[in-house]
Amino acid sequence: MKPKITLKDIARELDVSISTVSKALKNSKEISKDTKDRIKAFAKFYNYRPNNIALSLKNRRTKNIGVVIPDIVHHFFTTVFRGIEKYANSMGYNVIICISDESFDKEVINMEMLANGSIDGFILSLSAETQRKNDFTHLKELLDQGIPIVLFDRVTQDVACDKVVLNDVEISRESVEHFIGKGSEKIALITTDNYFNVSESRKDGYLEALKDNDIPFDENLILTLPHDLDNTKLITEFFEKNEIEAVLCVNEIFAVQCMSVIQQMGFRIPEDISIIGFTDGILSRFSSPKLSTVAQHGEKMGELAAKMLINRMESTEVVEEPFKTEIINATLIKRGSTIN
C-alpha cells in the first residue's frame, strides 16, 4: 500500500511550490500543460486525495476555530490570540493555534492540516511571505469550499471575507502631529518592506501629517528594515548620516532597538530625539525611558474577529450578509520617550 501523501509531499518531490501543485490539480490556466501533466501523474500514482472539506462541514460541526498568526515574538499577536480565545471559549468553541513563522508554505500547510475536518472556520493574519508573493489561492479555495475566514491586521483586498483592521493611517498621522506640536520637524520613519499592508498605511499617515503641516518630505528620513534580522548596524548608520529630532517606528521591536542605538551614540531621549513605536507591549513599559506607543488594542481586535467568525458560522440566513471590514481605533500613549 502506497503511503498517503499531501500537497507538501508532491511539491517537495517535484521541486515546485505548494501553490503550483494546488493550481495544477484544479487544472488552472496559470500552470503550463507539461507541469500539470507531471503533477497529476505523480498525484495519481500515489493515490493523492484532496481534503473533502465541504462534506466535513456539511455533516458535522467541530466547535473548533483555527487561528494562524505570523509569530509569537510581537506582543500584539499574543494579545489578539488572548481576545480570540476569551470570546470563543465563552461561546463554547475551542481554539487551535498555529504559527506560520512568516512562511507562505507553513501558512498553507497549517491551514490544510486544520481544514481536514478539524475546524469550522479560520482567523488569520497573513505571513510576510504570503504578502510578498501576493498569492492567496489557499484562502480562496477554503472560502469556495464553505469554510469562513476572518483576516485581521495584515489583510488583503484580493480575498472577499470579513476583516478587522486598525486605523493605521489616522493614528500614524496623530503620532507625527504630536512630534510637530512639540517643535520637531526633522521626523524620521522606520518601517519595513512595502508589501506589508500595515507598514504602507502607517507610511501614508506619516506623509499626510508632513504635508498637512507644510513640512517638506525628505526621503532620506525613511529607513526600511528587514523584519527578521538584527538591524543595529543599519540603524546606527541611519542616525549617523541624518539629523533627526523624532522618529516613528512601525513596531515595538524597531523602536526599542532605536532607543538602544541612540543612547549608545550619546543622544538623550526625549530631549534630543523623541520616539513613538507601535504596540503597547512589555518592552515598551520596561524600557528606559518608557516608550511612548500606539496601543493597538489587540485583545479587542481578537474578540471582534472571533465574534464576526462565529456569527457567520452560526448564521441561519438563506442569503449571507455582505462581508464587513471593522476598524479598531488605536490610542496614542505618551510616556517618557516623547516630550509631553
pLDDT in tens, 136-166: 999 998 998 889 999 999 999 999 999 999 9
State which fold the 168-296 domain adopts. Rossmann fold (3.40.50)
Average pLDDT (237-265) is 96
Alpha helices in the chain (DSSP H): 7-14, 18-25, 33-45, 53-59, 75-90, 104-115, 128-133, 137-144, 168-181, 197-212, 232-241, 252-264, 282-286, 298-314
The per-residue pLDDT for 55 is: 41
Average pLDDT (257-265) is 96
pLDDT in tens, 74-126: 889 999 999 999 999 999 999 999 999 999 999 999 998 888 778 999 999 99
DSSP3 helix / strand / coil % (the chain, rounded to 5): 45, 15, 40
CA distance 124 to 149: 7
Q: What is the DSSP letter of 63?
A: -
Using alpha carbons, list the distances in angstroms from residue 54 to 66, 142, 216: 16, 9, 55
309 pLDDT above the threshold of 50: yes
pLDDT in tens, 24-57: 888 888 889 999 999 999 988 888 876 544 444 4
Regarding pTM above 0.95, the answer is: no
CA distance 206 to 337: 18
Using alpha carbons, list the distances in angstroms from residue 214 to 45, 180, 199, 210, 225: 67, 11, 23, 6, 27
Q: For the domain covering 62-165+298-329, report its CATH number.
A: 3.40.50.2300
Could you tell me where in the chain the CATH 3.40.50.2300 domains are found? Answer: 62-165+298-329, 168-296
In the sheet that 222-225 helps form, which strands lie side by side, from edge to edge? 222-225, 187-192, 246-249, 274-278, 292-295, 331-333
The per-residue pLDDT for 54 is: 45
pLDDT band, very low/low/confident/very high, at 72 (cuts 50, 70, 90): confident
Average pLDDT (210-215) is 97
In the sheet that 121-124 helps form, which strands lie side by side, from edge to edge? 94-99, 64-69, 121-124, 149-152, 162-166, 325-328
